[in-house]
């Protein structure tokens, strides 16, 4: 499993782990039934604390992406991708609504807002 941790990002390390594993599941790089490394093994390979990996795994388990069973280890659960995509779209809409409210408060034309969105989207 190839997880890249950046210390220069605003996102906490455990959230970086969570988002990268979720992306691997959504892109089918990891599929239902695939085993994940043990917390200790992953922590060692990416040079972070076991507690950090534990927190990431707990969040992934709470969100229904993985399961841990004694004797079997940690593995990917079958997940409804459409449900996850719907959740992500809802979150995007909430952020965009906030941006629209600020733009309207400052009399920013729609075209300018669209230009900013395009620049930010294509920036990466």
pLDDT in tens, 7-34: 877 899 999 999 999 989 888 899 888 9
The pLDDT value given to residue 7: 81
Whole-angstrom Cα distance, residue 120 to residue 124? 8
pTM: 0.68
Identify each DSSP E strand in 1-124 by its residue range: 35-36, 66-69, 73-76
Give the residue-averaged pLDDT of 58-76. Answer: 91
Whole-angstrom Cα distance, residue 96 to residue 71? 45
Whole-angstrom Cα distance, residue 82 to residue 36? 23
pLDDT in tens, 68-117: 998 889 999 886 667 777 778 888 999 999 999 999 999 999 999 999 99
The pLDDT value given to residue 89: 87
Whole-angstrom Cα distance, residue 104 to residue 19? 32
Of 6, 94, 12, the closest CA to residue 59 belongs to 12
Give the residue-averaged pLDDT of 29-41. Answer: 93
The pLDDT value given to residue 80: 61
């Amino acid at each position: 499993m190839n997880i890249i941790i950046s210390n220069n990002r605003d996102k906490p390390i455990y959230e970086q782990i969570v988002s990268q594993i979720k992306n691997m599941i959504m892109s089918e790089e990891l599929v239902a039934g695939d085993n994940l490394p043990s917390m200790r093994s992953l922590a060692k390979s990416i040079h972070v604390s076991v507690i950090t990996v534990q927190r990431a795994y707990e969040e992934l388990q709470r969100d229904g992406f993985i399961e841990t069973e004694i004797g079997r280890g940690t593995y990917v659960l079958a997940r409804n991708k459409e449900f996850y995509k719907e959740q992500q779209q809802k979150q995007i809409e909430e952020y965009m609504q906030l941006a629209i409210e600020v733009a309207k408060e400052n009399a920013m034309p729609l075209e300018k807002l669209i230009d900013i969105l395009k620049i930010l989207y294509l920036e990466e």
